[in-house]
Amino acid sequence: MATMQLISKETIKPSCPTPPHLRCFKLSLLDQFTTAMYMPMIYFYPNKGCDSSCNIADNSRRLKNSLSETLSRYYPFAGRLTDDKASIICNDEGVEFLKARVKCKLTEAVKDDETETLNLLFPDGVVWNESYNGSLVVVQLSVFDCGGMAVSVCRTHKITDACSMITFMTDWAAATQQSETFPPEFIAKSILSPTPNDPFMVPEIELGKRNCITKRFVFDGLRISDLKAMAVDSGARNPTRVEVVTALLYKCAMEASTANLGSFRPSILIQLVNMRSRVIPPLPKNSVGNFSWYFTVSTGKQSERKLESLVGQLRSGLMKLCDKAVNNLKVNEWLVTIRESMKEVKVLLDDLDVYRCSSHCRYPFYHVDFVWGKPILVRMASGVVKNTFVLMDAPTGDGIEAWVTLEEQDMAIFQSDEELLAFASLNPIVLA
């Protein structure tokens, strides 16, 4: 069994102090709506032939210096949430940075079934929790026996969505390489910023934390093309790769649930969407904050579980969401939209199986290069919220990596589904 030795724990502060007029950062409506849960992401890097003792000293120094520089531009990340979680006090208290040695090889750690080993690579008490010593971002650099490394980053969802976080990681990596970087544009300062008189209260929604299993399924580009062709033959119109993969995962997960329950249970899929490019005018790619929303796909009958039907619902749901977003960017309209959507989902949670999908495709996770090369695997920690699908681009080609989290009894059936395995490989070997 792998073990971990903590070498050091320190706080990294911005290289330049935040000006007084920027000390109070008001969160946007969507920031306030979003959970404070810490979202854990980890990047695995193979050894490039250097001595591991040299690696951990030199690379940690580089990471800390460039992180300090990057925090000067992302100054809210180094601050602290107020008690009401509506603002950040940008007091430059910094982010926590840990260094550790892990007694195992990198190849052992990248196996998604090795949950105990994976947990060693994240700071204790951070993953999926809603508070951690006040630090809004927590980083751990781990070095393996073979000299390979892992960089894990946990960030509170209150200040970033996945798109924001990859923007931060890309800028941090660029700073490490001393490449040109540009200051981010904070969404909360431009749109959806509540006025002092907004009586905005977010209803709480139970996320359904359970003892779950997370598995990695990889769809290569050729198999996705076959899946798209099959959907077209059944009546779908020019489906995207994300649409067909999402539809297949949802279909097979519903079938696994039905097999365990012994009868069909109505379901909905909550599909998260990055709205930056879908509003007019579109937001810049370097916009930071939460700017994702969702639509739902309802499946009330067994006959609605056909692939082409699910693909069609995904397409129409996205179109309706985009139409609504373009017309409702004013604060008051969004207040109404958020409240109505939350009430709708809260009612549905009691009567249906609920699935959630978030697509991170087209985000450059596999291009985060801290001088020592690109990662061979990027993933989240094993999930605790059941019935979730997280999609990412595969490292090469037009493939998709799907990280699927289900309860144990559903996963046992899901991972053996012949239709799924005709298009996806379960946890293929990651080559270091």
CA distance 194 to 215: 39
Out of 369, 393, 410, 417, the active site residue is 369
Question: What tokens does 61 get?
Answer: 């120094």
Give Cβ neighbours of residue 275 (< 8 Å, ≥ 6 apart): 283, 291, 292, 293, 322, 325
Q: What is the largest distance, in Å, between two alpha-carbon atoms of the chain?
A: 62
Strand order in the sheet with 137-144: 4-12, 95-102, 137-144, 149-156, 38-45, 377-380
Q: How many CB atoms lie within 10 A of CB 228?
A: 19
End-to-end C-alpha distance for the chain, whole angstroms: 20
Kindly tell me the burial class for residue 323, based on how many C-beta atoms sit within 10 Å of its own C-beta (0-12, 13-18, 19 or more): exposed
Tell me the C-alpha to C-alpha distance, in Å, between residue 212 and each of 16, 76, 125, 169, 412: 43, 33, 18, 28, 11
CB contact burial 195-216 (16+ within 10 A = b; e otherwise)? eeeeebeeeeeebeeeebbbbb
| 21 classed as catalytic | no
Beta bridge partners of 4: 102
What type of residue sits at position 145? D
Look-up of token digits 């499946």: 299
Please name which of 179, 154, 173 lies closest in space to residue 62, comparing C-alpha atoms: 173
| 369 classed as catalytic | yes
Tell me the C-alpha to C-alpha distance, in Å, between residue 45 and each of 317, 372, 376, 401: 38, 8, 6, 18
Cite the beta strand spans of 111-248 per DSSP E: 137-144, 149-156, 185-186, 212-219
Question: What tokens does 87 get?
Answer: 């603002």
Out of 31, 112, 157, 393, the active site residue is 157
Tell me the C-alpha to C-alpha distance, in Å, between residue 57 and each of 50, 51, 150, 238: 12, 10, 14, 51
Helices (H), 177-305: 221-233, 241-261
Catalytic residues: 157, 369
